[in-house]
């Protein structure tokens, strides 16, 4: 059993030595020494040999409750900071996607205004606008969910910073406050872009309502004018027909009179 363990250790040392030589050829200052430390080995640069590290047990007298609480609170701040970083990145990406969806919708609405009066193009643009609105709604809901998560994470980081400060880990508290400020400044730009897009969308909606109302008024005016023209034409046609009927009746009356005068039987 001891022979097998010794043989395994020697083969491991040989593997580490050869691997270090290969890495040393291709890169300088590589992360391979960290692997040596993790495996309990160290490298002597002068003799190019691998030695075993003697790991000593920690002094139990230093492991007091205050020391352990202070270290634990610092670790908690570190992990909570990772959650804050990931949430910040997700929120910034969601704000960017939300702003892009709004600008796509604005572009489609502008194009729809340019094709007013063309039914086929209006129908196509109406379908595209409905799809774009659905994407905007989904992006907004995702953004709102991440906003709620971000507020919870900020409270979590604040609580962890307070705990670390009370425990005596002032450096961890400082790091937590700096991370909160960095997250707020990182999200600020994306949020400003999204708010600008929302304001532009409101303006575009008002513009669409105004132009569509004017277009509808013009159509109604044209319809009323066409109706009036039709009515006047019908009146003129009816009056013309009446006049022609009167003329024909007068002509027939005159003919009858002449026929009566010329007929001898009527005189007797």
pLDDT digit string (tens) for 128-178? 999 999 999 999 999 999 999 999 999 999 999 999 999 988 898 999 999
Within-domain flag for 247: no
113 CB-contact burial (10 Å; exposed 0-12 / middle 13-18 / buried 19+): middle
Within-domain flag for 140: yes
Look at residues 174, 197, 214 and tell me which one is the last residue of a structural domain.
214
pLDDT value at residue 100: 95
Whether residues 90 and 175 fall in one domain:
yes
pLDDT value at residue 262: 55
Q: Do the beta carbons of residue 172 and residue 82 sit within 8 Å?
A: no
Considering only residues 17 and 45, tell me which one the structure prediction assigns the higher pLDDT.
17
Whether residues 45 and 103 fall in one domain:
no
Within-domain flag for 85: yes
Provide the pLDDT confidence category of residue 264 given band limits of 50, 70 and 90: low
The parent domain of residue 40 ranges over 2-52
Whether residues 182 and 210 fall in one domain:
yes
Domain count, the chain: 2
CATH assignment of the domain containing 129 = 1.20.58.70
Residue 43 pairs with which residues in a beta bridge? 50
pLDDT digit string (tens) for 177-215? 999 999 999 999 999 999 999 999 999 999 888 888 888
Whether residues 97 and 197 fall in one domain:
yes
Whether residues 80 and 157 fall in one domain:
yes
Measure the CA–CA gap between 187 and 189, rounded to whole angstroms.
6
pLDDT digit string (tens) for 35-60? 444 444 444 444 445 455 666 766 77
Distances (CA, A) of 56 to 39, 43, 59: 15, 19, 9
Whether residues 176 and 101 fall in one domain:
yes
Within-domain flag for 100: yes
pTM score of the predicted model: 0.61
Strand (E) or helix (H) holding 51: strand 49-52
Q: Do the beta carbons of residue 95 and residue 190 sit within 8 Å?
A: yes
Measure the CA–CA gap between 177 and 174, rounded to whole angstroms.
5
Whether residues 84 and 203 fall in one domain:
yes
- Write the DSSP string, 225-256: HHHHHHHHHHHHHHHHHHHHHHHHHHHHHHHH
Within-domain flag for 209: yes
Whether residues 111 and 31 fall in one domain:
no
Whether residues 204 and 99 fall in one domain:
yes
Residue 52 pairs with which residues in a beta bridge? 41
Q: Do the beta carbons of residue 197 and residue 99 sit within 8 Å?
A: yes
């Amino acid at each position: 059993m001891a022979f097998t363990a010794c043989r395994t250790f020697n083969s491991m040392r040989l593997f580490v030595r050869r691997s270090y030589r290969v890495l040393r050829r291709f890169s300088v200052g590589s992360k391979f020494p960290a692997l040596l430390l993790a495996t309990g080995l160290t490298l002597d640069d002068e003799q190019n040999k691998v030695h075993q590290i003697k790991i000593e047990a920690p002094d139990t007298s230093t492991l007091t409750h205050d020391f352990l609480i202070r270290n634990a609170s610092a670790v908690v701040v570190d992990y909570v900071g990772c959650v804050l970083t990931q949430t910040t990145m997700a929120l910034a990406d969601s704000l960017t996607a939300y702003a892009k969806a709004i600008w796509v919708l604005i572009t489609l609405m502008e194009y729809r205004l340019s094709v007013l009066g063309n039914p086929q193009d209006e129908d196509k643009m109406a379908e595209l606008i409905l799809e774009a609105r659905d994407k905007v709604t989904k992006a907004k809901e995702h953004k709102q969910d991440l906003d709620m998560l971000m507020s919870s994470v900020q409270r979590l980081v604040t609580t962890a910073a307070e705990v670390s400060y009370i425990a005596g880990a002032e450096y961890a508290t400082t790091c937590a406050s700096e991370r909160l400020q960095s997250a707020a400044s990182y999200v600020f730009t994306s949020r400003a872009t999204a708010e600008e897009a929302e304001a532009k969308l409101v303006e575009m909606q008002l513009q669409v309502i105004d132009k569509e109302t004017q277009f509808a008024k013009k159509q109604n005016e044209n319809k009323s004018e066409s109706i009036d023209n039709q009515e006047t034409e019908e009146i003129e046609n009816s009056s013309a027909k009446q006049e022609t009927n009167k003329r024909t009746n007068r002509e027939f009356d005159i003919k009858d009179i002449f026929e009566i005068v010329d007929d001898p039987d009527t005189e007797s």
